[in-house]
């Protein structure tokens, strides 16, 4: 029965010292657990996946005698769901372990950055409230701590950062497992697995196990399949292979392997498509497919993920409009929209301010002011007949100058 | 009256101050006047119709007729497309009904004018409905929108609905002539016709065009000046973008698209609407070509509402234009 276990579970460290890498993070966490949790009730562990955040929490609970009440992103994170699980837990414990010295429960919210969109509306604020009301320690784990929506969480908790685990440590870990599982492995093979994991211990162990399924003597040759399975194909790699795909199937396979964000992918393909197809007819056809993909994306919203296959299918079609016309080109990145909005922010702010003033005087919205008033004001300005209108609207000199410059378009 | 208060923009200067002065809306005005005689009977109002037909004007007239000189004290003007969310609307309404002395003479309420209310999501409208209920003893709402169909049923059923249709040509021309006379501008009949054609029933647009045209040659507006103004006031960037696309230069066309999005802050649907408008002004295209291109715009206008990323849909639209442009270039 033990044989059926995933190795990541089988060899998950039970003690803090057995967790490889991230010594500073471990020390900081233990320090918080021992001494600081009474002053700062919550802690946020953040860092890339597979480096031991969850393992550390469980190991610490084991050593210090806490009971862990866990929730992760697969649970619905609506406010109700969280209160239902975490609410009672937090207040109950406050009653039965009244002394702050006594050990008891820890609330562990894993993958808090999984809280997304409408589906989980209120999730973040609910967690903040729990942290504020809770009398027991709250531990949170996240991959990407910079997400806007997690900002309220960062305010109320201590932060501990995890890094990728260093390759030699992973190799040593793999060697230990090989020894216990009676697998003979070339050092280079393990090295390759470790490098390929990019510091993600979990995926390294998973890769080792799946390779060892087929052979008990692992050579570097055996690890060739790994690169194809590498889940972290970067945006650039994805785009390059996408645009040079020789068939619909190849494009589809490639997209299904890539783990880049769907919306980023859509935007990047849209940006680069005209560089791929020089012929207007081909470009129009390809954009038509991308446009359809975008409509599927719109319908998917935050819940209809079963439509994702059609999204990918349409994108793949766009890559396969005319494989024979492919010529290498330099990719546009970062996204045009992001760059444009960055450089033009000042202009938009200025225009918005002007439109606000028009709106107040003329009882219209900013959008209407922009469409119905600005064009005429510009013409009046060019004819130097706008002075009284401009002062009546209360425009500042720099705003007038802005409008004058706009005229040149 | 002082110029300060009237304003130097003619749309404001000649905005009717009383219901009697309102152009071409006899039926609506008569029903509203009945409410003015006995304000206690006035329900919430929903004014619906295309832009520039007098909805906001009528709402402001009602405010003046109810509260006289001090109408501003008793009236809260909000524009749904400017407010960031229903919470802001709620807070402002709440604050307003707290501070305004809700009774003025025989008017037992304060007035809240919510313009462009069809811009609100249905969730926001549901919240608005609550606000209307909780503040109903102290306030009356006048909701203004382009399409009453976008207002949720429960709100519609709480309002008396008035529909504003496209303004009558003759009434518009008369009004323009009347303004021209007061401003000592001689307005040629063909020029007035041309302005009204251009404005498509939107009086605000027409008056803005008239004022701009009057600035061209002191006191004289003829058809030529009007054409010139219309040309210069059109969003040149949009025309250029269409031209570049039709010329087959997709990359340049897309640059202009991003200029419109970035520097001018236009949304995808605003750009599409302007493309539609500008397309029909382009003399280099045959009516058949315009019809074909207009169909394409229509298709992508729809896709914009379905999709998630407006840049993609706009780019795809421009690519279609470039394709048509190339075919056109080869056939001629």
Residue B235 CB neighbours (<10 A): 21
Q: pLDDT averaged over chain A? A: 81
In the predicted model, what is the mean pLDDT of residues A319-336?
A: 86
User: Touching check for B291 and chain A: CB below 8 Å?
Assistant: no
Helix axes A235-243, A248-257, angle to 10 degrees: 170
Class of domain A22-161: alpha beta
Confidence (pLDDT) at B256 = 92
**In this predicted model, what pLDDT tens digit does every residue of B264-282 receive, in sequence order?**
888 898 899 889 988 988 8
Confidence (pLDDT) at A266 = 93
Confidence (pLDDT) at A392 = 86
Does the pLDDT at position B89 exceed 50? Answer: yes
Q: What would the two tokens of residue A349 be?
A: 């702010």
Give domain B169-233's CATH number out of 2.60.120.560, 1.10.8.60, 2.40.50.140, 3.30.43.10: 1.10.8.60
CATH topology of domain B236-327: Zinc Finger, Delta Prime; domain 3 (1.20.272)
Give the distance from CA A240 to its chain's centroid: 22
Q: How far away is chain B from the Cα of A343, in angstroms, using its nearest Cα?
A: 8
Q: What would the two tokens of residue B249 be?
A: 């230069």
In the predicted model, what is the mean pLDDT of residues B293-313?
A: 93
Phi-psi region for residue A136, left (φ > 0), alpha (ψ -120 to 50) or beta? beta
Confidence (pLDDT) at B103 = 61
Position with higher pLDDT, A67 vs A407 = A67
Confidence (pLDDT) at B4 = 47
Q: Which residue of A has its CA nearest to B235?
A: A375
Where do you find CATH 1.20.272.10 in chain B? 236-327
For residue A118, what pLDDT band results from cuts at 50, 70 and 90?
Answer: very low
Nearest-by-Cβ selection for B79 from A266, A300, A359: A359
User: Touching check for A270 and chain B: CB below 8 Å?
Assistant: yes
B3-164 CATH: 3.40.50.300
Class of domain A167-229: mainly alpha
* H and E: helices and strands count for chain A: 21, 7
Does the pLDDT at position A268 exceed 60? Answer: yes
Confidence (pLDDT) at A117 = 42
How many angstroms separate the CA atoms of A8 and A201, rounded?
A: 9
- B 42-61: CB under 8 A from A: 51-52, 56, 60
Confidence (pLDDT) at A96 = 42
Confidence (pLDDT) at B245 = 94
Confidence (pLDDT) at B121 = 80
**Cβ contact B238:A375 at 8 Å:** no
Q: What would the two tokens of residue B256 be?
A: 């202009």
**In this predicted model, what pLDDT tens digit does every residue of A181-222 receive, in sequence order?**
999 998 988 988 888 888 889 888 888 888 887 778 888 877
- A 73-92: CB under 8 A from B: none
- Sheet containing strand B44-49, strands side by side: B75-79, B110-115, B139-145, B44-49, B159-164
Mutate to test the interface with B, among A290, A315, A359, A375 (most CBs of B within 10 A): A375
**Cβ contact B261:B271 at 8 Å:** yes
Does the pLDDT at position A261 exceed 80? Answer: yes
Confidence (pLDDT) at B330 = 67
Omega cis (within 30) before A237? no
Q: pLDDT averaged over chain B? A: 86
Position with higher pLDDT, B5 vs A180 = A180
How many angstroms separate the CA atoms of B250 and B240, rounded?
A: 12
For residue A378, what pLDDT band results from cuts at 50, 70 and 90?
Answer: confident
Pairing outcome for strands B110-115 and B75-79? parallel
In the predicted model, what is the mean pLDDT of residues B173-199?
A: 91
Position with higher pLDDT, A105 vs A20 = A20
Helix axes A308-319, A262-276, angle to 10 degrees: 20
Confidence (pLDDT) at B5 = 47
Mutate to test the interface with A, among B1, B4, B8, B226 (most CBs of A within 10 A): B8
The CA-to-CA distance between both ends of chain B, in Å, stands at: 61
Q: What would the two tokens of residue B215 be?
A: 């600035």
How many angstroms separate the CA atoms of B317 and A281, rounded?
A: 12
Mutate to test the interface with B, among A261, A299, A353, A363 (most CBs of B within 10 A): A363
Q: Please name the residues in contact with A233: beta carbons below 8 A apart, sequence gap of 6 or more.
A: A241, A257, A258, A259, A260
- For chain A, give the percent of residues with pLDDT over 90: 22
Buried-exposed string A63-86: b where 16+ CB fall within 10 A, e elsewhere: eeebeebbbebebebbbebbeebb
Pairing outcome for strands B44-49 and A217-218? unpaired
Does the pLDDT at position A255 exceed 80? Answer: yes
Confidence (pLDDT) at A94 = 44
**In this predicted model, what pLDDT tens digit does every residue of A69-114 receive, in sequence order?**
776 544 555 455 556 655 554 544 444 443 344 467 788 887 776 6
**Cβ contact B125:B152 at 8 Å:** yes
Residue B295 CB neighbours (<10 A): 10
Q: Please name the residues in contact with A202: beta carbons below 8 A apart, sequence gap of 6 or more.
A: A8, A49, A50
Q: Which of A253, A255, A282, A256 is nearest to A269 (CA)?
A: A255
Confidence (pLDDT) at A322 = 92
Q: How many contacts does A have with B, using Cβ atoms within 8 A? A: 176
Confidence (pLDDT) at A330 = 85
pTM of the model: 0.60
Does the pLDDT at position A177 exceed 90? Answer: yes
Where do you find CATH 1.10.8.60 in chain B? 169-233
**In this predicted model, what pLDDT tens digit does every residue of A31-47 receive, in sequence order?**
988 887 777 788 989 88
Confidence (pLDDT) at A229 = 45
Which residues in A lie closer than 8 A to residue B258 (C-beta atoms)? Answer: 336-337, 340
**Cβ contact A346:A337 at 8 Å:** no
Nearest-by-Cβ selection for A270 from B79, B311, B323: B311
Confidence (pLDDT) at B239 = 87
Confidence (pLDDT) at B25 = 83
What are residue A139's DSSP bridge partners? Answer: A43, A108
């Amino acid at each position: 029965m033990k044989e059926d276990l995933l190795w990541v579970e089988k060899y998950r460290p039970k003690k803090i010292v057995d967790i490889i890498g991230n010594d500073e993070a471990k020390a900081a966490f233990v320090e918080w657990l021992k001494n600081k949790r009474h002053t700062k009730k919550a802690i946020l562990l953040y860092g890339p996946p597979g480096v031991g955040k969850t393992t550390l929490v469980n190991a610490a609970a084991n050593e210090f005698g806490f009971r862990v009440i866990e929730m992760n992103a697969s649970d619905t994170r609506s406010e109700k769901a969280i209160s239902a699980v975490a609410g009672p837990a937090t207040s109950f414990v406050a009653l039965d372990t009244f002394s702050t010295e006594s050990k008891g429960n820890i609330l562990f919210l894993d993958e808090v950055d999984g809280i997304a969109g409408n589906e989980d509306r209120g999730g973040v604020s609910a967690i903040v409230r729990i942290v504020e009301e809770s009398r027991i320690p709250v531990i949170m784990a996240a991959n990407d701590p910079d997400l806007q929506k997690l900002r309220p969480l960062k305010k109320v908790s201590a932060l501990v950062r995890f890094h990728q685990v260093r390759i030699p440590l992973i190799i040593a870990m793999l060697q230990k497992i090989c020894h216990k599982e009676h697998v003979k492995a070339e050092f280079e093979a393990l090295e390759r697995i470790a490098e390929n994991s990019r510091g993600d211990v979990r995926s390294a162990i998973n890769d080792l196990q799946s390779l060892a399924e087929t052979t008990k003597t692992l050579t570097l040759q055996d690890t060739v399949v790994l690169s194809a399975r590498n889940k972290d194909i970067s945006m650039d790699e994805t785009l390059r292979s996408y645009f040079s795909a020789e068939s619909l199937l190849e494009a589809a396979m490639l997209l299904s392997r890539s783990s880049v964000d769907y919306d980023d992918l859509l935007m990047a393909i849209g940006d680069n498509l005209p560089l791929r197809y020089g012929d207007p007819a081909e470009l129009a056809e390809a954009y038509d497919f991308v446009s359809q993909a975008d409509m599927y994306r719109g319908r998917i919203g935050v819940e209809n993920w079963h439509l994702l296959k059609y999204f990918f299918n349409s994108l793949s079609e766009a890559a396969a409009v005319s494989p024979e016309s492919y010529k290498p080109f330099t990719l546009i990145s970062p996204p045009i929209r992001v760059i444009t909005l960055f450089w033009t922010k000042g202009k938009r702010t200025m225009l918005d301010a002007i439109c606000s003033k028009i709106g107040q005087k003329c009882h219209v919205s900013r959008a209407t002011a922009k469409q119905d008033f600005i064009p005429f004001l510009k013409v009046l300005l060019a004819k130097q007949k706008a002075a009284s209108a401009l002062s009546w609207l209360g425009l500042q000199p720099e705003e007038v100058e802005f409008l004058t410059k706009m005229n040149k378009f | 009256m002082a110029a300060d208060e009237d304003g130097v923009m003619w749309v404001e200067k000649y905005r009717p101050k009383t219901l009697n002065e309102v152009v071409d809306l006899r039926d609506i005005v008569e029903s509203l006047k009945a409410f003015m005689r006995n304000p206690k009977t006035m329900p919430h109002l929903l004014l619906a119709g295309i832009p520039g037909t007098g909805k906001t004007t009528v709402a402001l007239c009602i405010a003046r007729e109810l509260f006289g000189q001090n109408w501003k004290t008793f009236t809260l003007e909000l524009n749904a497309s400017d407010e960031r969310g229903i919470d802001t609307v709620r807070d402002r309404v709440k604050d307003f009904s707290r501070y305004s002395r809700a009774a003025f003479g025989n008017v037992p309420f304060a007035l809240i004018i919510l313009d462009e209310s069809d811009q609100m999501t249905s969730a926001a409208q549901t919240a608005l409905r609550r606000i209307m209920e909780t503040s109903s003893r102290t306030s009356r709402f006048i909701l203004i929108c382009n399409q009453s169909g976008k207002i949720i049923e429960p709100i519609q059923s709480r309002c008396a609905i008035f529909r504003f249709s496209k303004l009558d040509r003759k009434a518009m021309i008369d009004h323009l002539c009347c303004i021209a006379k007061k401003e000592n501008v001689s307005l040629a009949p063909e020029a007035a016709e041309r302005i009204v054609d251009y404005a498509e029933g939107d009086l605000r647009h027409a008056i803005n065009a008239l004022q701009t045209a009057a600035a061209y040659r002191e006191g004289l507006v003829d058809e030529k000046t009007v054409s010139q103004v219309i040309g210069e006031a059109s969003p040149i960037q949009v025309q250029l973008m269409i031209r570049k696309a039709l010329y087959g230069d997709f990359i340049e066309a897309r640059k202009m698209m991003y200029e419109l999005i970035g520097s001018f802050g236009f949304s995808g649907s605003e750009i599409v609407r302007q493309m539609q408008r500008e397309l029909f002004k382009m003399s280099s295209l045959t009516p058949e070509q315009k019809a074909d291109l207009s169909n394409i715009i229509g298709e992508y206008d729809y896709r914009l509402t379905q999709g998630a990323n407006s840049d993609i849909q706009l780019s795809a639209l421009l690519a279609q234009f470039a394709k048509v442009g190339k075919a056109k270039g080869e056939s001629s």
